[in-house]
Amino acid sequence: MDSQTAIRKEMIATCQRMNSEDLNVGSAGNLSVRIDGGFLITPSGIAYDKMDPSQIVEMDNEGRYYGDFIPSSEWRFHHDIFKARPDVDVVLHSHATHCAILACCRLDIPPIHYMVGVSGGSVVKCSGYATFGTQELSVEALEALGPRNACLLGNHGVIAVGKTLNGTFGVLAEVENLARIYIGTRMLGGGALLSDPQMDVVLQRFKTYGKQTDEIDPSITERVEPPVHGGARLH
Protein backbone atom coordinates (compact mmCIF):
# COMPACT_ATOMS: atom_id res chain seq x y z
CA MET A 1 0.00 0.00 0.00
CA ASP A 2 1.52 3.39 -0.99
CA SER A 3 1.52 6.27 1.48
CA GLN A 4 -1.22 8.24 -0.30
CA THR A 5 -3.58 5.26 -0.26
CA ALA A 6 -2.98 4.91 3.47
CA ILE A 7 -3.73 8.61 4.00
CA ARG A 8 -6.94 8.35 1.95
CA LYS A 9 -8.12 5.38 4.02
CA GLU A 10 -7.31 7.17 7.26
CA MET A 11 -9.20 10.25 6.06
CA ILE A 12 -12.33 8.20 5.42
CA ALA A 13 -12.00 6.46 8.79
CA THR A 14 -11.68 9.87 10.49
CA CYS A 15 -14.84 11.17 8.80
CA GLN A 16 -16.74 8.03 9.74
CA ARG A 17 -15.53 8.38 13.33
CA MET A 18 -16.62 12.02 13.31
CA ASN A 19 -20.18 10.94 12.49
CA SER A 20 -20.23 7.93 14.81
CA GLU A 21 -19.11 10.09 17.75
CA ASP A 22 -21.86 12.68 17.08
CA LEU A 23 -19.45 15.36 15.90
CA ASN A 24 -21.18 15.66 12.53
CA VAL A 25 -24.30 14.53 10.67
CA GLY A 26 -24.60 12.89 7.26
CA SER A 27 -22.27 14.06 4.50
CA ALA A 28 -21.85 17.53 6.03
CA GLY A 29 -18.34 18.65 6.88
CA ASN A 30 -15.09 17.95 5.05
CA LEU A 31 -11.48 16.98 5.65
CA SER A 32 -8.16 17.69 3.97
CA VAL A 33 -4.54 16.61 4.44
CA ARG A 34 -1.49 18.38 3.06
CA ILE A 35 0.72 16.41 0.63
CA ASP A 36 3.69 17.39 -1.51
CA GLY A 37 2.53 20.01 -4.00
CA GLY A 38 -0.97 20.35 -2.61
CA PHE A 39 -3.51 18.48 -0.54
CA LEU A 40 -6.07 15.67 -0.51
CA ILE A 41 -9.69 16.57 0.26
CA THR A 42 -12.97 14.72 0.63
CA PRO A 43 -15.26 14.84 -2.43
CA SER A 44 -18.51 16.72 -2.72
CA GLY A 45 -21.74 15.01 -1.66
CA ILE A 46 -20.51 11.45 -1.13
CA ALA A 47 -21.57 9.83 2.15
CA TYR A 48 -18.64 8.85 4.34
CA ASP A 49 -19.90 5.29 4.79
CA LYS A 50 -19.98 4.87 1.00
CA MET A 51 -16.73 6.69 0.23
CA ASP A 52 -13.86 4.88 -1.48
CA PRO A 53 -10.19 5.95 -1.28
CA SER A 54 -10.19 6.56 -5.03
CA GLN A 55 -12.87 9.25 -4.52
CA ILE A 56 -10.68 11.40 -2.31
CA VAL A 57 -9.68 14.35 -4.50
CA GLU A 58 -6.16 15.61 -5.08
CA MET A 59 -5.71 19.38 -5.42
CA ASP A 60 -2.58 21.41 -6.08
CA ASN A 61 -1.39 24.59 -4.44
CA GLU A 62 -2.92 26.68 -7.22
CA GLY A 63 -6.43 25.41 -6.45
CA ARG A 64 -6.77 22.95 -9.36
CA TYR A 65 -8.24 19.50 -8.85
CA TYR A 66 -7.37 16.24 -10.56
CA GLY A 67 -9.30 13.06 -11.32
CA ASP A 68 -12.97 12.23 -11.80
CA PHE A 69 -14.48 13.62 -8.61
CA ILE A 70 -15.27 17.22 -7.66
CA PRO A 71 -13.82 18.32 -4.30
CA SER A 72 -15.87 19.53 -1.37
CA SER A 73 -17.61 22.85 -1.95
CA GLU A 74 -15.53 24.22 0.92
CA TRP A 75 -12.20 23.57 -0.83
CA ARG A 76 -11.41 27.30 -0.78
CA PHE A 77 -10.89 27.64 2.95
CA HIS A 78 -8.87 24.41 3.02
CA HIS A 79 -6.64 25.79 0.24
CA ASP A 80 -6.31 29.18 1.93
CA ILE A 81 -5.60 27.78 5.40
CA PHE A 82 -2.80 25.60 4.03
CA LYS A 83 -1.40 28.62 2.19
CA ALA A 84 -1.57 30.91 5.24
CA ARG A 85 -0.55 28.36 7.87
CA PRO A 86 2.56 26.32 6.99
CA ASP A 87 2.33 24.80 10.49
CA VAL A 88 -0.97 23.10 9.57
CA ASP A 89 -1.17 19.73 7.77
CA VAL A 90 -4.81 18.79 8.48
CA VAL A 91 -8.04 20.81 8.21
CA LEU A 92 -11.25 19.28 9.60
CA HIS A 93 -14.66 20.95 9.33
CA SER A 94 -17.92 19.75 10.84
CA HIS A 95 -21.41 20.85 11.84
CA ALA A 96 -21.01 19.62 15.42
CA THR A 97 -24.29 20.48 17.16
CA HIS A 98 -23.15 22.58 20.11
CA CYS A 99 -20.55 24.42 18.06
CA ALA A 100 -23.24 25.15 15.47
CA ILE A 101 -25.61 26.45 18.19
CA LEU A 102 -23.01 28.96 19.34
CA ALA A 103 -22.13 29.79 15.73
CA CYS A 104 -25.78 30.53 15.01
CA CYS A 105 -25.72 32.96 17.96
CA ARG A 106 -22.38 34.41 16.74
CA LEU A 107 -20.80 33.66 20.11
CA ASP A 108 -17.14 33.03 20.80
CA ILE A 109 -16.19 30.38 23.35
CA PRO A 110 -14.48 32.41 26.10
CA PRO A 111 -12.05 31.02 28.73
CA ILE A 112 -14.85 29.32 30.67
CA HIS A 113 -12.67 26.24 31.15
CA TYR A 114 -8.90 25.87 30.95
CA MET A 115 -9.25 23.35 28.10
CA VAL A 116 -10.02 26.31 25.83
CA GLY A 117 -6.22 26.27 25.63
CA VAL A 118 -6.45 23.28 23.29
CA SER A 119 -7.50 25.81 20.65
CA GLY A 120 -4.08 27.44 20.89
CA GLY A 121 -5.48 30.62 22.44
CA SER A 122 -7.64 31.94 25.26
CA VAL A 123 -10.79 32.07 23.12
CA VAL A 124 -12.36 30.14 20.25
CA LYS A 125 -13.50 32.93 17.97
CA CYS A 126 -16.65 32.90 15.84
CA SER A 127 -16.50 34.36 12.35
CA GLY A 128 -19.07 36.50 10.64
CA TYR A 129 -21.45 34.85 8.20
CA ALA A 130 -20.71 34.18 4.54
CA THR A 131 -22.36 31.80 2.08
CA PHE A 132 -20.92 28.29 2.12
CA GLY A 133 -18.39 27.46 -0.56
CA THR A 134 -17.47 31.08 -1.28
CA GLN A 135 -14.23 33.02 -1.11
CA GLU A 136 -15.96 35.35 1.33
CA LEU A 137 -16.35 32.43 3.77
CA SER A 138 -12.67 31.61 3.39
CA VAL A 139 -11.77 35.18 4.33
CA GLU A 140 -14.04 35.01 7.39
CA ALA A 141 -12.58 31.64 8.41
CA LEU A 142 -8.97 32.82 8.17
CA GLU A 143 -9.71 35.93 10.22
CA ALA A 144 -11.47 33.96 12.99
CA LEU A 145 -8.86 31.20 13.01
CA GLY A 146 -5.80 33.43 13.09
CA PRO A 147 -2.84 31.54 14.61
CA ARG A 148 -5.09 29.23 16.65
CA ASN A 149 -6.18 25.61 16.16
CA ALA A 150 -9.95 26.12 15.94
CA CYS A 151 -12.69 28.60 15.15
CA LEU A 152 -16.45 28.69 14.75
CA LEU A 153 -18.05 29.70 11.45
CA GLY A 154 -20.98 32.08 11.84
CA ASN A 155 -24.35 30.32 11.34
CA HIS A 156 -22.46 27.29 10.11
CA GLY A 157 -20.13 25.07 12.17
CA VAL A 158 -16.54 24.62 13.31
CA ILE A 159 -13.04 24.24 11.86
CA ALA A 160 -10.18 22.43 13.62
CA VAL A 161 -6.61 22.31 12.32
CA GLY A 162 -3.45 20.48 13.30
CA LYS A 163 -0.44 18.40 12.32
CA THR A 164 -2.05 14.94 12.37
CA LEU A 165 -5.46 13.45 11.70
CA ASN A 166 -5.77 12.06 15.21
CA GLY A 167 -4.60 15.26 16.87
CA THR A 168 -6.94 17.43 14.80
CA PHE A 169 -9.85 15.11 15.56
CA GLY A 170 -9.01 15.55 19.25
CA VAL A 171 -9.21 19.34 18.90
CA LEU A 172 -12.62 19.07 17.23
CA ALA A 173 -13.95 16.77 19.96
CA GLU A 174 -12.66 19.04 22.72
CA VAL A 175 -14.06 22.22 21.15
CA GLU A 176 -17.47 20.57 20.82
CA ASN A 177 -17.28 19.61 24.50
CA LEU A 178 -16.30 23.18 25.39
CA ALA A 179 -19.27 24.47 23.40
CA ARG A 180 -21.55 22.15 25.39
CA ILE A 181 -20.03 23.37 28.67
CA TYR A 182 -20.36 27.03 27.68
CA ILE A 183 -24.00 26.62 26.68
CA GLY A 184 -24.62 24.97 30.05
CA THR A 185 -23.04 27.84 31.98
CA ARG A 186 -25.12 30.35 30.06
CA MET A 187 -28.26 28.41 30.97
CA LEU A 188 -27.26 28.79 34.63
CA GLY A 189 -26.84 32.52 34.27
CA GLY A 190 -23.19 32.68 33.34
CA GLY A 191 -19.85 31.35 34.52
CA ALA A 192 -16.60 32.50 36.07
CA LEU A 193 -14.17 33.20 33.24
CA LEU A 194 -10.45 32.61 33.67
CA SER A 195 -8.34 35.77 33.62
CA ASP A 196 -5.73 36.60 30.98
CA PRO A 197 -2.84 35.81 33.39
CA GLN A 198 -4.45 32.48 34.28
CA MET A 199 -4.86 31.58 30.62
CA ASP A 200 -1.28 32.68 29.89
CA VAL A 201 -0.09 30.03 32.36
CA VAL A 202 -2.43 27.44 30.85
CA LEU A 203 -1.16 28.13 27.34
CA GLN A 204 2.44 27.77 28.48
CA ARG A 205 1.66 24.48 30.21
CA PHE A 206 -0.13 23.22 27.10
CA LYS A 207 3.24 23.28 25.34
CA THR A 208 4.23 20.27 27.47
CA TYR A 209 0.74 18.77 27.85
CA GLY A 210 0.33 15.24 26.50
CA LYS A 211 4.01 14.95 25.55
CA GLN A 212 6.75 12.50 26.46
CA THR A 213 10.25 13.50 27.62
CA ASP A 214 11.86 13.50 24.17
CA GLU A 215 9.14 15.82 22.83
CA ILE A 216 9.46 18.53 25.49
CA ASP A 217 11.50 21.70 25.00
CA PRO A 218 13.60 21.95 28.20
CA SER A 219 13.58 25.77 27.99
CA ILE A 220 9.87 25.89 28.84
CA THR A 221 9.71 26.88 32.51
CA GLU A 222 5.95 26.77 33.08
CA ARG A 223 5.38 23.09 32.41
CA VAL A 224 3.48 19.99 33.41
CA GLU A 225 5.87 18.24 35.79
CA PRO A 226 5.88 14.43 35.89
CA PRO A 227 6.47 12.56 39.18
CA VAL A 228 9.97 11.56 40.22
CA HIS A 229 11.42 8.94 37.88
CA GLY A 230 12.26 5.73 39.75
CA GLY A 231 14.45 4.26 37.02
CA ALA A 232 13.84 1.17 34.93
CA ARG A 233 11.98 -1.60 36.73
CA LEU A 234 13.90 -4.85 37.03
CA HIS A 235 10.84 -7.09 37.46
* Catalytic residue ranges: 74
Where are the extended beta strands (E) located within the chain? Answer: 30-35, 38-41, 57-60, 65-66, 90-94, 150-153, 157-162
Q: Would you say 93 and 157 are in contact if contact means Cβ atoms under 8 Å apart?
A: yes
Rounded to 5 degrees, what angle do the CA atoms 66, 50, 15 make? Answer: 80
Identity of residue 233? R
Q: Are 89 and 164 in contact (CB under 8 A)?
A: yes
Neighbours of 135 (CB within 10 A): 12
